């Protein structure tokens, strides 16, 4: 059995949880989220507790049980507190700014990169080099942050590029470092 899948999800007072057919609906103070439920997974809702169950001990179904428990937990956390990711631009002349629903990045290319921010994600820039992304859907937020980082990933010699705030870049020695 899945250890994570066995743990029930506690619903806060402000959250409304609904299951209609094979769709899960979660509504909270920050917004609404929905997700389709896999047919091998069953949900039981009672007393503000959601339990995720599966009918067999098949490895794939048990894995789906843990997956959907985590997805439901992430949906509940998203509509109550939301999620946030921070990116840092490191390099001479690297800077960012937000214009309407676009993120304009000057990251060493001959022209600025215009990145369209999807609906449901808010972006802000502090000190021209720190990008803060926030939203209620953890999956979309992580994908947007990864797409922005892929525009100029950090390189190992000088550390220039776009990196997560908690990311540690392992630096390499240059050619002249090994010579005596």
Q: Who contacts 8 (Cβ-Cβ below 8 Å, separation ≥6)?
A: 49, 50, 51
Q: Who contacts 4 (Cβ-Cβ below 8 Å, separation ≥6)?
A: 66, 69, 70
Q: What is the pTM of this model?
A: 0.81
Q: What pLDDT, on the 0 to 100 scale, is given for residue 177?
A: 60
Tens digit of each residue's pLDDT (9 = 90 or more) over 170-180: 788 877 765 65
CA gap 65, 3 in Å, rounded: 10
49-54 sheet: strands from edge to edge: 9-10, 49-54, 41-46
- Domains of the chain in sequence order: 3-80 (3.90.930.12), 83-164 (3.90.930.12)
Tens digit of each residue's pLDDT (9 = 90 or more) over 97-151: 888 888 888 888 888 888 888 888 888 888 988 889 999 989 999 999 999 888 8
CA gap 129, 90 in Å, rounded: 7
Contact status, residue 159 vs residue 171, Cβ threshold 8 Å: yes
Q: What pLDDT, on the 0 to 100 scale, is given for residue 179?
A: 62
CA gap 94, 72 in Å, rounded: 38
């Amino acid at each position: 059995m899945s250890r994570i899948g066995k743990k029930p999800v506690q619903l806060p007072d402000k959250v409304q949880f609904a299951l209609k057919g094979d769709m899960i609906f979660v509504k909270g103070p920050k917004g609404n989220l929905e997700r389709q439920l896999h047919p091998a997974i069953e949900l039981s809702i009672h007393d503000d507790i959601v339990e995720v169950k599966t009918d067999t001990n098949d490895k794939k179904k048990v894995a789906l049980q843990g997956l959907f428990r985590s997805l439901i937990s992430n949906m509940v956390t998203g509509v109550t507190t939301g999620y946030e990711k921070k990116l840092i631009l490191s390099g001479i002349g690297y800077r960012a700014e937000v214009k309407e629903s676009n993120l304009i990045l000057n990251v060493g290319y001959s022209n600025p990169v215009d990145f369209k921010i999807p609906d449901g994600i808010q972006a802000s820039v502090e000190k021209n080099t720190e990008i803060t992304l926030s939203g209620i859907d953890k999956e979309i937020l992580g994908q947007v942050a990864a797409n922005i980082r892929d525009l100029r990933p950090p390189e190992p010699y000088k550390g220039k590029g776009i990196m997560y705030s908690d990311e540690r870049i392992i630096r390499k020695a240059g050619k002249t470092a090994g010579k005596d």
